[in-house]
């Protein structure tokens, strides 16, 4: 089972599904989206539980829940036919085509190694990568000898044609790496292609991070998933983004770069500091995705922290909805207030924090508290959010100091310590003050 995190919070969908003022069609669509989301939230929690364990225990758990796939199954994740499509396309540039041909050769070589492993022909080859994404970027002995440069990632966008059966993903291929926008008239395809590229470009430029795994993993996207599907999610079992078209209240997920930044960051969190997906660590997991999603949006719009609106999913609400976005990092709890499905319930301070069993302990609800802290720190530093506050949060996530079951107070300590390490005592005071203002206070 795949693990998903969806951009639309469950309490918003629940409000639509339970509203007495809405037509049945709207409520049924919201309930269908919510049911799908609930099923896979459990799987996301299980995934982060496994990732938070020591390496040996993690391998055993992974083998139990995800048995070793066959060579053909491993190839199907990044199908050779996709790379062949790139290599053969007339409108793809020569450099990208040549790179695709080299990766086809590597996949075939790695698959051959795997077959030898199964037959016991070579014990050393038991160390071959177990993921087709890893295979595509693996350092073969041939590559090491020739000292070929590390290849970049590929993007590919598929069309689900409103099919909601996950087994049929990724769907019909429409546009691949190197092809121009003119290859299709489908705006959703081109928006997904461009925005995924901008998010990964941001990570590379600002933090030196290559794709989602720092190894140039290829990123596939599928648009037009399901009928009236009001959400977007990252599916790690297929290493791909999936976008619905929306319905009565929510739409245009591919056009919201912060949505794509949010979802791809969940994948990156798995490769940096996996945070258990429940209670405060789960809220921090959501918070980190909002932080990097909002920074990507601000980069694209060339806005300083003071100029930005700090709205997540600003373009996802249809015009007649009384609201401005899915969430506000500047003023949690003010993103929407529509009489048909309710008011944004996010608290902005620990005074509003109450234990709950819903939404895995309120992972979407309470992310607003650390979100406000990041906003306050960014404003205090001035300039662009990624220049100091963003660098602090990134260093914290890659420092090895964020435990899987990290509390808000622990995270505040790590970010404060990193701030001092990077920028000095005054920077540490700014970060500590931001956390104090939202009620996340260290107990002496």
Q: Which of 224, 266, 287, 364 is catalytic?
A: 364
DSSP conformational letter for 383: S
SS3 99: helix
Instruction: Find, among 39, 5, 3, the residue nearest to 288 by Cα.
Output: 5
Sign of CA dihedral 305, 308, 311, 313: negative
| 290 and 312 Cβ atoms separated by less than 8 Å | yes
DSSP conformational letter for 125: G
Using the structure block, give the residue that is written with the tokens 């500047």. Answer: 330
What whole-number distance in Å separates Cα of residue 6 and Cα of residue 42?
12
| 241 and 221 Cβ atoms separated by less than 8 Å | yes
Using the structure block, give the residue that is written with the tokens 């469950």. Answer: 10
With vertex at residue 383, the alpha carbon angle to CA 382 and CA 386, rounded to the nearest 5 degrees, is: 105
Beta bridge partners of 222: 158, 242
Q: Which of 177, 263, 270, 286 is catalytic?
A: 263
Q: Is beta strand 232-235 parallel, antiparallel or unpaired with respect to 172-176?
A: unpaired
Whether 263 is a known active-site residue: answer yes
Sign of CA dihedral 381, 382, 385, 386: negative
Q: Is beta strand 232-235 parallel, antiparallel or unpaired with respect to 5-6?
A: antiparallel
| 192 and 156 Cβ atoms separated by less than 8 Å | no
What whole-number distance in Å separates Cα of residue 375 and Cα of residue 152?
33
What whole-number distance in Å separates Cα of residue 176 and Cα of residue 194?
11
State the catalytic residues: 263, 364
């Amino acid at each position: 089972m795949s693990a998903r995190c969806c951009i639309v919070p469950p309490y918003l969908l629940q409000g639509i599904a339970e509203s007495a003022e809405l037509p049945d069609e709207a409520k049924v669509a919201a309930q269908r989206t919510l049911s799908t989301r609930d099923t896979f939230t459990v799987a996301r929690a299980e995934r982060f539980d496994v990732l938070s364990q020591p390496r040996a225990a993690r391998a055993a758990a992974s083998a139990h829940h995800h048995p070793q796939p066959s060579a053909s199954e491993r190839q199907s994740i990044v199908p050779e036919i996709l790379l062949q499509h790139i290599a053969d396309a007339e409108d793809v540039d020569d450099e990208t085509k040549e790179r695709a041909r080299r990766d086809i050769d590597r996949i075939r070589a790695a698959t051959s190694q795997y077959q030898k492993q199964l037959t016991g022909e070579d014990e050393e080859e038991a160390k071959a990568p177990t993921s087709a994404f890893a295979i595509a970027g693996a350092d073969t002995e041939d590559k090491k000898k020739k000292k070929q440069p590390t290849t970049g990632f590929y993007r590919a966008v598929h069309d689900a044609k409103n099919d909601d059966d996950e087994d049929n993903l990724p769907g019909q291929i429409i546009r691949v790496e190197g092809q121009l926008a003119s290859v299709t008239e489908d705006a959703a395809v081109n928006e997904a292609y461009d925005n995924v590229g901008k998010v990964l470009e941001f990570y590379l430029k600002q933090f030196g991070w290559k794709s989602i795994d720092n190894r140039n993993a290829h990123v596939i996207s599928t648009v037009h998933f399901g009928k009236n599907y009001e959400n977007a999610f990252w599916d790690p079992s297929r290493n791909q983004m999936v976008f619905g078209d929306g319905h009565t209240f929510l739409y245009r997920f591919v056009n919201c770069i912060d949505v794509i930044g949010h979802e791809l960051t969940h994948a990156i969190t798995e490769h940096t500091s996996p945070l258990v997906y429940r209670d405060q660590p789960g809220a921090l997991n959501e918070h980190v995705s909002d932080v990097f999603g909002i920074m990507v949006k601000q980069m694209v719009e060339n806005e300083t922290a003071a100029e930005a609106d700090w709205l997540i999913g600003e373009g996802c609400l249809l015009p007649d909805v009384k609201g401005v976005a899915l969430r506000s990092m500047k003023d949690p709890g003010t993103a929407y207030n529509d009489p048909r499905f309710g008011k944004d319930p996010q608290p902005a301070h620990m005074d509003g924090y109450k234990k709950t069993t819903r939404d895995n302990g309120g992972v979407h609800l309470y992310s607003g508290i650390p979100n406000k802290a990041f906003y306050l720190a960014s404003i205090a530093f001035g300039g662009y959010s990624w220049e100091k506050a963003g660098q602090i949060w990134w260093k914290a996530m890659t420092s090895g100091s964020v435990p899987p079951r990290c509390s808000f107070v622990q995270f505040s300590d790590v970010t404060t310590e990193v701030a001092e390490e990077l920028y000095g005592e005054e920077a540490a005071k700014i970060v500590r003050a931001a956390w104090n203002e939202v009620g996340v206070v260290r107990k002496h």
